[in-house]
Amino acid sequence: MAEVRVVLADDDVLLREGVASLLGRSGHLVLGQAGDAPGLLDLVRRHRPDLAIVDIRMPPDHTTEGLAAARVIRQEFPGVAILVLSAHAEVEHAMELLASGQGIGYLLKSRVADVTEFVDTVERIARGGAVVDPALVRELVSVRRRQDPLDVLSAREREVLALMAEGRSNAGIAHRLWITEGTVEKHVRSLLAKLDLPEAVEDHRRVLAVITFLDAQ
């Protein structure tokens, strides 16, 4: 693709120089390098690059300085693509970043070692794409599974709850599933208990169960 104009920010000088050299050999132009967030913002404001590559943790505290800088860049220069590099897959930070629009990426630093893949990622983000590290995708799926409140239900209880969400009465559910109304009542009592819904008027608990079901879809 056409030359990508890049600025880099990472307090690891060896990594920073390595990435700059790699991009240069691949036909792209590194406009400047910085070791902290203020230096990065200065480079972006002076050069208006196509892409900013940012370490998520930088001086002085090595917490989320890079993420904060990425927020500022996105607000001030929405046309500048951003690739955040991180040593670990941090779901919360990544989701916030990826929700900010196009031309965005989150990549583990270990992925830089694959030269072809890294350069391809840089080019795709510069073109407006969104790139998520495969390790982060696996973590997101894992978190989703861990947080699914319906995991405690049996297959039959899920069926009953789905029909409750359609507004069916116990009699209607029994007719649909070809079971007795008494059996439906047992399933309803069981699923309400498993979902740990507070004791209250039965109709209210059914509504809460349906809300839980819909929220998990």
Average model confidence (pLDDT) across the chain: 83
The whole-angstrom separation of Cα 80 and Cα 75 is: 10
Binned at pLDDT 50, 70 and 90, residue 165 comes out as: confident
For 82-98, b where at least 16 C-beta lie within 10 A, e where not — what string?
Answer: bbbbbeebbeebbeebb
Q: What pLDDT sits at residue 216? A: 63
Provide the CATH topology of domain 149-215: Arc Repressor Mutant, subunit A (1.10.10)
Q: Work out the average pLDDT over 112-130.
A: 87
The whole-angstrom separation of Cα 160 and Cα 189 is: 11
The secondary structure of residue 197, as a DSSP letter, is P
Q: Work out the average pLDDT over 169-181.
A: 89
Q: What pLDDT sits at residue 217? A: 54
The whole-angstrom separation of Cα 122 and Cα 178 is: 56
Tokens of 150: 């319906």
Do 83 and 121 form a contact (C-beta atoms < 8 A)?
yes
Beta strands in the chain (DSSP E): 5-9, 29-34, 51-55, 81-86, 104-108, 130-132
Binned at pLDDT 50, 70 and 90, residue 201 comes out as: very low
- Paired residues of 84 in beta bridges: 54, 106
Cβ–Cβ contacts within 10 Å for residue 116, how many? 8
- pLDDT of 118 > 80? The answer is yes
- pLDDT of 1 > 70? The answer is no
Q: What pLDDT sits at residue 95? A: 67
Residues 178-190: tens digit of each pLDDT: 999 999 999 988 8
- pLDDT of 146 > 60? The answer is no
The whole-angstrom separation of Cα 113 and Cα 194 is: 47
- pLDDT of 82 > 70? The answer is yes
Tokens of 2: 């056409």
Tokens of 54: 């940012």
SS3 at position 86: strand
CATH for 5-145 (1.10.287.110, 3.40.605.10, 3.40.50.2300, 2.120.10.30): 3.40.50.2300
Binned at pLDDT 50, 70 and 90, residue 203 comes out as: very low
The full set of domain ranges for the chain reads 5-145, 149-215
